Chains A and B, each alone.
Chain A
Amino acid sequence: MIETFFQQEEDYLVQVKNLTRVFGNQRVLRDITLNIPAGQTLVLLGESGCGKTVLMKSIIGLIRPTKGQVLFDGNDINRLNQRQISKIRTRFGFVFQNAALFDSMTIGQNVAFPLRQVGRYSNDQIREMVLSRLSEVGLPDSVVYKKPAELSGGMQKRVGLARALVMNPEIIMYDEPTTGLDPIMSDVINELILRTRIRNPVTSIVVTHDMNTAKKVADRIVMLMPEPRLDPNESQIIFDGTVAELEQCRDRRVQQFINGEAGERLMELRGEATGAGY
């Protein structure tokens, strides 16, 4: 386990306490408790639909919990007023799965958006910062006048990363940063995540299915299990530890996931489908 006995509550940048989230009749997160110290790179693993993205969006306050608390730097994110939450979110960077670039704006305007929101930089400063961030993620100056639709998927992800980095955030959240990219571009993104951490003492939360990403960037790995597949009193976090501990983990479900083996999962899925009455 990464968390040590001597760690104090105030050492944690993010504290998730007994978080439960229900959508309609479906419980996605059940009683999740997770503490993330400043400077750590945490990788959230788990099969599709296990609630990784919901957990990450709950941490930044985009999804309100049905029960439980999320504390960021000691502040309950769901009890802040609009002004406070807007201010606190400038300390976050969020890289969305599909980049989520504003398609009505140019690349330059997209990357400049968080800077303009703050409203304390001149146009020259903004231009300089945008070009510098774009160059850090390996994009030429010429892209600033292009629209997102004119760029490839990999370039869009890098623009998304540049936009998340432009405010020098304390915490960066990556939602499946390598999904849909070729192996080379996936590794480029992994390198960028690593370099970002080397350059700034930033806390990172990475949601991914990609074991290469997990092994390359993680200080700590947390694996979630889909809530419907759990026993009533079982924790939804089925693994919490380092990369080395993950590889030695004897849990069959963890091993199946890291080795990419379907095992009896196909039979289980068929059983679930039949039970659902389709």
Chain B
Amino acid sequence: MSTVFDKNSNRNRSEHGMFFNWVADRGGVVIDSLIALGSFSLFVWETVVWMFTRLPRSETVWPNFYRVGVSSLPVVALTGTFIGMVLAVQSYFQFSQFGLETRLGGVINMTLVRELGPVLAATMLAGRVGSAMAAELGTMRITNQIDALSAMGAHPIRYLIVPRFLACFFLIPILTVMADFMGLAGGFFYCNLVLDIDVHHYWDNSAQFVTNFDLFSGLVKSVFFGSAIAMVSCYQGFNCKAGAEGVGHASTSSFVFSFVAILVLDLFLGIGMDSIYFAMYPEGFGGI
């Protein structure tokens, strides 16, 4: 919405001027996006170089592992449990129409292990840890703490970014396993205790549908999600603009871009993992 103090409001635009301004604005957006992409790529490259050049100090690593891993476990477990139960509620009616209630185990568990477990754990990580990282690094940037680190001979990428990246990279698979397990448990208890589905058939169908490759595929995806969340959030915080608005923007952008990255990666990794599966097992999904 244009306001009295909008920086463009005083432009006197003729018809031609408006057209050229429109083109220039679009061109500006493209150039800004390319610059941002280049800057993000350099940031990722620098992080990778530092990761293999010198290990970070242990006192910077463990607090981040604690924050990403231990502190995120309860919320991931809770959301995992509920998503398992919600899947049972939503699928039961459809399956009961065809008398296939016992197949719910296969559907719920396969959905969780292949898709919802990794995506849910990653979304919780982006919301809980990613935004906090962006806000923390953003505040450090605007209060000169990052400059202070550099001035004392500590490289900010090694000191601040590498430990956060390692924490997300190594711990998101564990969080995913937790989301998978609690989802499985939630779905099972709802089906067994509320919907009264036979235990034996429930697990029998699960075992038939869910393979080790499904679990592997979910965990591989989660590693990519964790890396993307760490890089996007740290980049947003590291390049935070001045003021409270800048920190707020960094925090919000970190979640939005992380979430978009999770969904885009999910699509392409899903396609990639399916290709690998069919290359390994040309006969297709066992039992379906």
CB-CB contacts of A75-114 with B at 8 A, as 1s and 0s? Answer: 0000000100111011010101110111110000000011
Chain B positions 138-169 with a Cβ under 8 Å from a chain A Cβ? 139-140, 143-145, 147-148, 150-155
> Nearest Cβ in chain A — how far from B13, in angstroms?
14
> Nearest Cβ in chain A — how far from B102, in angstroms?
53
B2 within 8 Å of A (CB atoms): no
Q: Are A96 and B152 in contact (CB under 8 A)?
A: no
Q: Are B145 and A100 in contact (CB under 8 A)?
A: yes
Q: Are B144 and A89 in contact (CB under 8 A)?
A: no
With A94-B148, A96-B148, A102-B148 in contact, do A117 and B143 touch (Cβ < 8 Å)? no
A90, A98, A163, A278: the one contacting B144 at CB < 8 Å is A98
Q: Are A100 and B148 in contact (CB under 8 A)?
A: yes
A197 within 8 Å of B (CB atoms): no
Q: Are A97 and B153 in contact (CB under 8 A)?
A: no
Q: Are A98 and B143 in contact (CB under 8 A)?
A: yes
Which of A100, A103, A114, A277 gathers the greatest number of chain B CB atoms within 10 Å? A100
Q: Are B147 and A86 in contact (CB under 8 A)?
A: no
| A168 to B144 alpha-carbon distance, docked (Å) | 22
Which residues of chain B are near A92, meaning CB under 8 Å?
A: 151
CB nearest to A94 among chain B residues: B151
Which residues of chain A are near B143, meaning CB under 8 Å?
A: 98, 100, 103
Which residues of chain B are near A253, meaning CB under 8 Å?
A: none
- Is the interface on chain B under 10, 10 to 19, 20 to 34, or 35 or more residues? 10 to 19
Which residues of chain B are near A94, meaning CB under 8 Å?
A: 148, 151-152
B10 within 8 Å of A (CB atoms): yes
> Nearest Cβ in chain A — how far from B153, in angstroms?
4
| A98 to B155 alpha-carbon distance, docked (Å) | 21
| A102 to B137 alpha-carbon distance, docked (Å) | 11
Q: Are B145 and A103 in contact (CB under 8 A)?
A: yes
Chain A positions 104-161 with a Cβ under 8 Å from a chain B Cβ? 104, 113-114, 117-118
CB nearest to B11 among chain A residues: A277
Which residues of chain B are near A118, meaning CB under 8 Å?
A: 153
CB nearest to B158 among chain A residues: A82
Q: How many chain-A residues does the 8 Å CB contact rule pick out? A: 26
A14 within 8 Å of B (CB atoms): no
| A187 to B30 alpha-carbon distance, docked (Å) | 52
Which residues of chain A are near B150, meaning CB under 8 Å?
A: 62, 89
| A114 to B150 alpha-carbon distance, docked (Å) | 11
A214 within 8 Å of B (CB atoms): no
CB-CB contacts of B120-131 with A at 8 A, as 1s and 0s? Answer: 000000000000
Q: Are A117 and B145 in contact (CB under 8 A)?
A: no
CB-CB contacts of A195-206 with B at 8 A, as 1s and 0s? Answer: 000000000000
Chain A positions 218-244 with a Cβ under 8 Å from a chain B Cβ? none
Which residues of chain A are near B155, meaning CB under 8 Å?
A: 82, 86
Which residues of chain B are near A97, meaning CB under 8 Å?
A: 144
CB nearest to A160 among chain B residues: B148
With A98-B144, A100-B143 in contact, do A60 and B151 touch (Cβ < 8 Å)? yes
Which residues of chain A are near B147, meaning CB under 8 Å?
A: 57, 62, 96, 100
> Nearest Cβ in chain B — how far from A176, in angstroms?
12
> Nearest Cβ in chain B — how far from A112, in angstroms?
11
B136, B139, B144, B154: the one contacting A117 at CB < 8 Å is B154
With A98-B143, A277-B10 in contact, do A117 and B153 touch (Cβ < 8 Å)? yes
| A89 to B156 alpha-carbon distance, docked (Å) | 14
Which residues of chain A are near B153, meaning CB under 8 Å?
A: 85-87, 89-90, 114, 117-118
CB nearest to B142 among chain A residues: A98
Q: Are B148 and A89 in contact (CB under 8 A)?
A: no
With A94-B148, A96-B144, A102-B148 in contact, do A86 and B154 touch (Cβ < 8 Å)? yes
Which residues of chain A are near B136, meaning CB under 8 Å?
A: 104
B139, B140, B145, B152: the one contacting A89 at CB < 8 Å is B152
| A96 to B136 alpha-carbon distance, docked (Å) | 19
Which residues of chain B are near A102, meaning CB under 8 Å?
A: 140, 145, 148
CB nearest to B49 among chain A residues: A82
Which residues of chain B are near A86, meaning CB under 8 Å?
A: 153-155
> Nearest Cβ in chain A — how far from B40, in angstroms?
20
CB nearest to B148 among chain A residues: A100
Q: Are A100 and B152 in contact (CB under 8 A)?
A: no
| A87 to B155 alpha-carbon distance, docked (Å) | 11
> Nearest Cβ in chain A — how far from B213, in angstroms?
42
| A86 to B50 alpha-carbon distance, docked (Å) | 14
Which residues of chain B are near A278, meaning CB under 8 Å?
A: 10
Which residues of chain B are near A113, meaning CB under 8 Å?
A: 152, 154
Q: Which of A's residues lie within 8 Å of B, judged by CB?
A: 57, 60, 62, 82, 85-87, 89-90, 92, 94, 96-98, 100-104, 113-114, 117-118, 163, 277-278
The 10 closest A-B pairs by CB, nearest first: A100-B144, A94-B151, A86-B153, A100-B148, A89-B153, A114-B152, A96-B144, A90-B153, A100-B145, A62-B147
12 pairs, A vs B, C-beta closer than 8 Å: A57-B147, A62-B151, A86-B155, A87-B153, A89-B152, A96-B144, A96-B147, A100-B147, A102-B140, A102-B145, A102-B148, A278-B10
Given known contacts A101-B148, A114-B153, what 4 new A-B pairs fall within 8 Å (CB)? Answer: A90-B153, A97-B144, A100-B147, A103-B143
